Amino acid sequence: MSRPTSPTSPTALDVLVIGAGMGGLSAALAFQRQGHRVTVIERVEAIRPVGAAISLWPNGVKVMHRLGLGETIEHLSGNMTRMRYLTHTGEPLTDFSLAPLFDEVGQRACPIARAALQQTLFDAVGAEHIQLGRRCLDYAQDDEGVTAHFEDGGRQRADLLVIADGTHSRLRSKLVGHPVERQYVGYVNWNVRVSADEALAPAASWDQYVGDAKRVSLMPMGTGGNAAGTQEYYCFFDVPLPVGTPNDASRYRAELREHFAGWAAPVHALIERFDPDRMARVEIHDIPPLDSLTAPRVALLGDAAHGMAPDLGQGGCQAMEDAWVLARAVQDALEDGAAPAAAIATALDHYDAARVDRVGDIVSRARKRAAMIHGRDPVQTHAWYDELAHEDGDEILAGLRKTIVGGPLG
C-alpha cells in the first residue's frame, strides 16, 4: 500500500488550494487527512462570510463527519425536524416531519451559521496552512506539476492545483478555455439571523410563506456558537426583481414592508425585528453546467465549478462532495500503486466522471426550481401552490432524498 501517512511520506503530494471558502477548506482538509502537504491561498485579509447561514443537507453533513467535523457541526447547528409551507396570509398548505427522510438516509440536516461553519473548517485546516491576503492571478502546467502566480509577484509549485475561488472565479475561464458568464436567475434574496421566538415560527420547523412569486423563510439554525448561547433563526426574503435594482441597507426594512404588505403577522414581526446591518442582499446568479472540471494538473471545485441558484440548498453541500470525491480519488489511485503523476491523472479523470453530470444536473434542477418558486411562468407557480395544498410531504421528501442519496456517501 502506498497510502500516504504523513507529509514526509514519499507519496505525499503538494496540493495548492485557491480560495478559503467552504469548498476550498473542505478540499484542504480532505487532502490533509490523507497526509498530503496542503497550502491554501486566500485573497482577503480576514474571512467574513457573506450571508447569515446555510442549510447543510445530509449529503454535506456526511462529508463533514468523514472529515472529523460532524459532531462539531451538529452541535453548532439547528435541530430542524419539520417543514411547513404556508400561504402569504399564513394559512398552512402542508406540514410534515423530516424524520422519515433523516432516518432513511442516516443523517439529519444541519442549518448552521456561515461564520461558525467557516471558523470550524478554518481551525481544522490550521491557520499556518492558510495564506491570507494573497491573490492568485494565473497558473501554468507542465509535465512535472503546476505553478500558481500571485498578484504580489510570488509563485508556488505544486503537484495539484485546486481552484475553489467561488462563483466569480477568474481562473475558471482559463481552465474551461472560454469565458463563462454568470446568469441572473431573476430574483433578489435578503438573508439575516434573528433570535428564535415562537411568535415567529415553531422552534424546530422550517417555515416558508409563499405567494405572488415571493417567499419568506424561517429556519432554526441553532446558536452557531454565539456568545450568549441563544437559539437563532436563519431568515430570508425572496422577491423577483430586475437585475441591478439599488442595494441600500438603510432601505431594506422599508422595501420589505412594501414587498410583503398584507402578508401574515409573523412575516411583519420579522420585518420589524431584523438588524439591517447584519443582513445580506444577493442578486441570485448561476453559471451554465460545464463539460469538464479538470485540466492535467488542476481541478475546479465548489461555486467556481458549479455556481447554482440556492433553491435546492445544495451549493455548499456539492462543494463538500467535490472535496471528498477528489481527495478520495487521489488516495485510491495512490493505494493502487500509481506514481504521483499517474495517480493525479487517474484521479482527475475519475473526478470529472463522478462530478460533471452530478453537479450539472443539480445546477439545472436548482434553476428550474428557482423559476417555479419565483414566477417565471405564473401558471406554473400557481400550479405549485395548488400542489402544496395537496402535499402530505411524500413528494417533497422524495425530491430531497433523490438529491441526498445521489451523493458519494449515499
Binding mask 166-195 for ligand FAD (x = CB under 6 A): xx--x------------------x-x----
Judge contact between 249 and 277, C-beta under 8 A: yes
Query: Least distance (Å) from ligand FAD to the CB of residue 70?
Result: 15
Judge contact between 94 and 389, C-beta under 8 A: yes
C-alpha cell of residue 137 = 492571478
Query: Least distance (Å) from ligand FAD to the CB of residue 103?
Result: 21
**Residue whose CB is less far from ligand FAD, 187 or 260:** 187
Binding mask 51-80 for ligand FAD (x = CB under 6 A): x--xx----x--------------------
Q: Which residues in 315-344 contact ligand FAD (CB under 6 A)? A: 315-317, 319
Size of the site for ligand FAD (CB under 6 A): 35
407 touching ligand FAD, by CB under 6 A: no
Residue type, 166: G
**Residue whose CB is less far from ligand FAD, 4 or 165:** 165
302 touching ligand FAD, by CB under 6 A: yes
Question: What's the DSSP call for residue 279?
Answer: -
Spatial neighbors of 200 by CB under 8 A, at least 6 apart, are 194, 218, 233, 266, 269, 270, 273
92 vs 136: CA distance, rounded Å:
50
**Cell match 435546492: residue?**
312
For ligand FAD, the binding residue among 82, 129, 135, 401 (CB under 6 A) is: 135
Query: Least distance (Å) from ligand FAD to the CB of residue 201?
Result: 17
380 vs 223: CA distance, rounded Å:
37
Residue 25, CA distances (Å) to 49, 113, 165, 315, 342 in order? 13, 16, 11, 15, 25
Strands 14-18 and 160-163: parallel
**Cell match 416531519: residue?**
97
165 touching ligand FAD, by CB under 6 A: yes
For ligand FAD, the binding residue among 4, 11, 19, 331 (CB under 6 A) is: 19
For ligand FAD, the binding residue among 21, 35, 186, 266 (CB under 6 A) is: 21
For ligand FAD, the binding residue among 132, 204, 282, 372 (CB under 6 A) is: 282
Q: Which residues in 333-392 contact ligand FAD (CB under 6 A)? A: none
Query: Least distance (Å) from ligand FAD to the CB of residue 384?
Result: 20
Burial call 303-336: b when 16+ CB within 10 Å, e when fewer:
bbbbbbbbbbbbbbbbbbbbbbbbbbbbbebbee
Stretch that binds ligand FAD, among 19-27, 152-160, 173-181, 362-370 (CB under 6 A): 19-27
164 touching ligand FAD, by CB under 6 A: yes
Per-residue 3-state assignment (H helix, E strand, C coil) for 173-189: HHHHCCCCCCEEEEEEE
**Residue whose CB is less far from ligand FAD, 301 or 333:** 301
Binding-site ranges for ligand FAD (CB under 6 A): 18-24, 41-44, 51, 54-55, 60, 135-136, 164-167, 170, 189, 191, 282, 302-304, 310, 313-317, 319
